[in-house]
Amino acid sequence: MRIVMGNQQKIIPITPQYKEVIELVAQEVARRFALNKETEVSVTFADDVLMQDLNKTYRGINEPTDVLSFAFDEEVEGVELVPIYGPKIHLLGEIVLSLERVKKQAQEYKHSFLRELAFLTVHGLLHLLGYDHQGEKDTAEMRKIEEEILNALHYPRSF
């Protein structure tokens, strides 16, 4: 899986470790779900102001959130999906992460910034793959996969 990263915030400096965590998580998700190397995901670092704007625009919720996923593969009834760049690149979607929320939630849950970043990356990627947490059964399934991936990468729960 290829990851394209962008930064749309100036509050928390991006370190090479952040990028490494996202790459490791993406590769584990790709391995687990047999995604090929031509699968591409965009990850954008954001602040709470941008996240609130996106959350309001796309979900109708006027408050910041930690992660948003925009799947490019979602089927719309009556619309055929056509590869944008030809059959070699599979654009899975975009994940937008609030680094302010990563920091706050890491403190709240008493684990490291990197663990929270890994969790939100897994969470966002699973949304791109069609998982959600609308009902108890779906939530339990998604949480199980998230924890399996985090444990495989040595980011266990610390609470």
Domains of the chain: 2-152 (3.40.390.30)
> Is the separation of the CB atoms in 95 and 44 below 8 Å?
yes
CA angle (38 as vertex; 78, 36 as ends), nearest 5:
95
Paired with 7 in beta bridges are 45
Q: Extract the tokens encoding 154.
A: 């040595």
Would you say residue 122 has pLDDT above 80? Answer: yes
Per-residue pLDDT of 30-75, as tens digits, reads 999 999 888 999 999 999 999 999 999 999 999 999 999 999 865 5
**DSSP symbol at 66:** S
Q: How confident is the model at residue 5 (pLDDT cuts 50, 70, 90)?
A: very high
Residue with tokens 């791109």: 128
Question: pTM of the prediction?
Answer: 0.89
DSSP characters over 12-54: S---HHHHHHHHHHHHHHHHHTT--TTEEEEEEEE-HHHHHHH
Would you say residue 134 has pLDDT above 70? Answer: yes
> In this predicted structure, what is the pLDDT of residue 158?
57
- Pairing, β 39-46 against β 67-71: unpaired
